[in-house]
Homo-oligomer: A and B are copies of this chain.
Amino acid sequence: MSFNSFGRVFRFTTWGESHGPAIGAVVDGCPPGLDLSEADIQPWLDLRKPGTSKFTTQRREADEVRILSGVFEGRTTGTPISLMIENTDQRSKDYSDVAKAYRPGHADYAYDAKYGFRDYRGGGRSSARETASRVAAGAVARAVIPEVDIFAYVSEIGGDAIDYANFDASQIGQNPFFCPDPAAAARWEVLVDGARKDGSSIGAVVECVASGVPAGWGAPLYAKLDSELAAAMMSINAVKGVEIGDGFAAARLRGEQNADPMRPGKDGPVFLANHAGGIAGGIATGQPIKVRIAFKPTSSILIPVETVTREGEASEIITKGRHDPCVGIRGVPVVEAMMALVLADQKLLHRAQCGERAGD
């Protein structure tokens, strides 16, 4: 396996720098015969497009995807699907200070230590724009798993959480925060605007639910569904924590409090709780899969922070240019895309090993 690929059968490789001519992804292992066109992918990118509100980055991008291969007469051929998004708005001049000093919290110093030099423009490859290719690849994945419904939302910004009693899924697309609680959305408008005006940034928590996953997907141990989800989510820029089901809250419970009892039902057992978040022993139980993801506040801020130059001298850094005060918000479509990508791969893996299962 190389460094920049993800998945085992349904596999994607992304490429592209934030300030290079284009970014893209190659999706491999997609089953043939699925309907696919740019129109199936573009909406998911538009959901992600900056400039839609003052709360996200002020970069104006078309983010228009092209399918360069793998589709014929509107259906996937089973061969690699190459997706490309050209970078139309790159304003490199905003980053002149950055070339000389390391931005604390960014990968600058680590990059230099690894590679000996770095592409200082924007975030190079570890920038949030790389996620556009993931969102595009995720749209292809969704075509593989029509039986699954995926949605994500922001549940917390800067420690201010939604009230689950007010949870209204239909509200998620109705505000700039992907927030299912209108009262929280109103508070966040003040909170995030405040951070932006201070030239600061703020962290967030995103939750993602996948319903309709049949019991059985996943495999015990290393291709475990929860393990793969953890890797997928942690690979998103700015993510510092991943939970499945109750997560760290489960660590504070007793066994009988954490159990998910079962009762007989018409089409299989009915679960009375879902502390496990839909995954037990690395395999889907049939219950909704619940993942919770922590986004740290971005380090690209206007408040000066002590740093060193490449030559090792003391310096301060202010990252000018256009930035997200809350990258977690833009993480929502990316989280959904990663959920889709992992589940598509798991579906095909399950089919590979158990397609002709001889049962009891």
Contacts and interface: CB of A to CB of B under 8 A. Distances in A.
Contacts of A250: 203, 240-241, 294, 296-297
A354 interface: yes
Q: What 5 A-B pairs come out closest when comparing CB atoms?
A: A107-B281, A116-B359, A33-B358, A113-B215, A201-B255
Tally of this chain's copies: 4
Interface residues of A, number: 165
A109 interface: yes
Given A124-B79, A284-B110, A354 B246 contact: no
A332 to B, nearest CB: 14
Given A8-B8, A16-B80, A230-B231, 13 more contacts: A1-B8, A5-B11, A6-B222, A8-B9, A13-B80, A14-B221, A107-B283, A110-B215, A158-B254, A258-B299, A276-B296, A348-B353, A351-B356
A298 B204 CA distance: 30
Nearest to A72: B119
Interface string A281-301: 111111000000011111111
A26 to B, nearest CB: 5
A253 B297 contact: yes
Contact of A301 (B3, B220, B256, B303): B256
